[in-house]
Each structure stands twice: as structure tokens, then as C-alpha cells.
């Protein structure tokens, strides 16, 4: 198992646009939520749907997980 100091992940919507310049975020629900809430790439891609995704994440945690990539990019 890889052991990072902190478990990090990367926003998939940032990766699509920024590639390897996408900034890692800490793999915690609240951090991911905060990132997505402020992520212009996420909002650009999903528009109104983005509100639903963020609104549903308390109910369904996996709805956020779909938007992050937990593997380190090569
Ligand atoms: Zn992002």
C-alpha cells in the first residue's frame, strides 16, 4: 500500500483542463466538496447539474467520488 502523508486526490474536471497542472486536494469529503464548489472547470462542465451534485453529496457520498481521481497521475 502506498502511504501518503495525507491521502490526496485530484479533481477530474481539473485534470481534463489542466492535465498534470491540476492541484491535488486532500481526500476528505468536506475538502472535495469545497473544491468542487469553487472549481470553475466543474461548474463549466456541469452547470446547473453541479448544484445537484453538490446538494446530493450529503445523501450520497459517491456522487463526489465520481469527480475525483485518487490515483496519482504519472
Ligand atoms: Zn477542480
> How far apart are the CA of 11 and the centre of ligand 1, in A?
5
Q: Nine-digit cell at 17?
A: 483542463
Single pTM value for the model: 0.81
> How far apart are the CA of 67 and the centre of ligand 1, in A?
8
* Structural domains counted in the chain: 1
Q: What is the structure's pLDDT at 58?
A: 67
Is position 3 within any domain?
A: no
Q: How far apart are CA 63 and CA 65, in angstroms?
A: 6
Segments forming the whole domain that contains residue 17: 8-69
> Around ion ligand 1, which residues have CB less than 5 A away?
11, 13-14, 39
Q: What is the structure's pLDDT at 70?
A: 81
Is position 2 within any domain?
A: no
pLDDT tens-digit series, residues 8-51: 899 999 999 999 899 999 988 899 999 999 999 999 999 999 99
Is position 1 within any domain?
A: no
DSSP-assigned states of every residue in 14-46: HHHHHGGGPPEEES-HHHHHHHHHH-HHHHHHH
What average pLDDT score do residues 49-60 get? 82
Residue, of 18 and 61, whose pLDDT is higher:
18
Is 50 exceeded by the pLDDT of residue 73?
no
Amino acid at each position: 500500500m502506498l502511504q501518503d502523508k495525507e491521502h490526496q486526490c485530484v479533481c477530474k474536471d481539473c485534470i481534463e483542463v489542466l492535465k498534470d497542472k491540476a492541484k491535488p486536494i486532500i481526500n476528505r469529503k468536506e475538502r472535495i466538496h469545497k473544491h468542487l464548489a469553487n472549481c470553475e472547470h466543474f461548474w463549466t462542465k456541469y452547470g446547473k447539474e453541479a448544484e445537484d451534485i453538490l446538494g446530493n453529496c450529503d445523501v450520497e457520498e459517491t456522487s463526489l467520488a465520481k469527480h475525483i481521481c485518487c490515483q496519482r497521475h504519472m
